[in-house]
Amino acid sequence: MRKFWKNSFCYVLLFAFCFVGGRLTAARQAVKVSNMASTGKLAIVIDDFGYNGEGTDKMLALPVPFTAAVMPFSQYSVENAKKAVEAGKEVIIHMPMEALTGKPEWVGDKGVFRKMTDEEIKAVVEEAYSILPDAVGMNNHMGSAIMEDTRCLGVVLDILKEENGFFIDSVTTAKSQGRALAEEKGVPFFARSVFLDGTNDVGTVKENLRKAGKIALRDGKALAIGHVGPEGGEVTQKAIEDLIPELEEAGITFVAAGDLIEE
């Protein structure tokens, strides 16, 4: 009888060990699957290339993909675009557009303005493409007035359609017509999720970048916009460089903006 109970006790222990071990293995597998599922694509667009502004070379040396948005009518437009291509970065046109607020000189003398005819808008956009032939798309520099104007924006998108380009809405106005018009005209489109900079504080840029990362993990993709020059420059470059390991460990994949576009 003692042998019987002894054997029974051993079987119970063996069963309990197997049961608990199985539960732990299942839990580990669940965590592993959960971690695998928590992935997201993050595209960073860096505006204001074309002036050879602060941080230009260091930004282009970053070891992850990003999109260089180049001002088309600036002194170093061609040079900066060439450097971006040589660095393996995607290039788009950072098109100056009339704004509802701010100083006129922030937009510049050449760009898209509401007073222009359809033909004049078409000509200036085509000129931008002739200066930056490697551009695969466009986003707006300033441009709150144009982004609300269906006529002007419609002409811009028509040219993008002809060029097989995509449009990134920088979201400089809550009344942007970008998404609706792009869908209507069949132009691939994506909207900015987070602005990274406009500050000299590296910590603030890092927090904004982490915010973009959380959006990417939640929605599967996100787009953040930063700058070279006085709006970001080396501060933004350092924040991105410092956070690359952390974001990749969290499940973030850095991509070019063109990898996020919506048909």
Domain of residue 234, CATH code: 3.20.20.370
pLDDT at 101 over 90: no
Q: Are 93 and 167 contained in the same domain?
A: yes
Where are the alpha helices (H) located in 132-229, listed in sequence order? Answer: 144-147, 150-162, 178-185, 202-219
Q: 197 and 149, same structural domain? A: yes
pLDDT tens, residue by residue, 139-160: 999 999 999 999 999 999 999 9
Q: Which two tokens stand for residue 239?
A: 């924040």
For the entire predicted model, the pTM comes to: 0.84
Query: What is the structure's pLDDT at 238?
Result: 98
Q: State how far the Cα of 139 lies from the Cα of 107, in Å rounded to an integer.
A: 14
User: Mean pLDDT score of the chain, rounded to an integer?
Assistant: 88
Backbone angles phi, psi at 46, to 5 degrees: -105, 110
State which residues form the domain around 114. Answer: 40-259
3-state SS class at 45: strand
The answer to whether 178 and 149 are in contact (CB under 8 A) is no
Q: What is the pLDDT of residue 104?
A: 76
Do 5 and 88 belong together in one domain? no
The span from the CA of 263 to the CA of 248, in Å, is 27
Say what the pLDDT of residue 78 is. 98
| Mean pLDDT for the stretch of residues 121-131 | 98
Query: Residue 107: pLDDT band by 50, 70, 90 thresholds?
Result: confident
How many separate domains does the chain show? 2
pLDDT at site 262: 64
Rounded to an integer, what is the distance from CA 256 to the centroid of its chain?
7
Examine the domain organization and report whether 134 and 227 are in the same domain.
yes
12, pLDDT greater than 70 = no
Per-residue pLDDT tens digits for 35-65: 445 699 999 999 999 999 999 999 999 999 9
Domain match, 31 and 62 both: no
- Identify whether residues 237 and 213 lie together within a single domain: yes
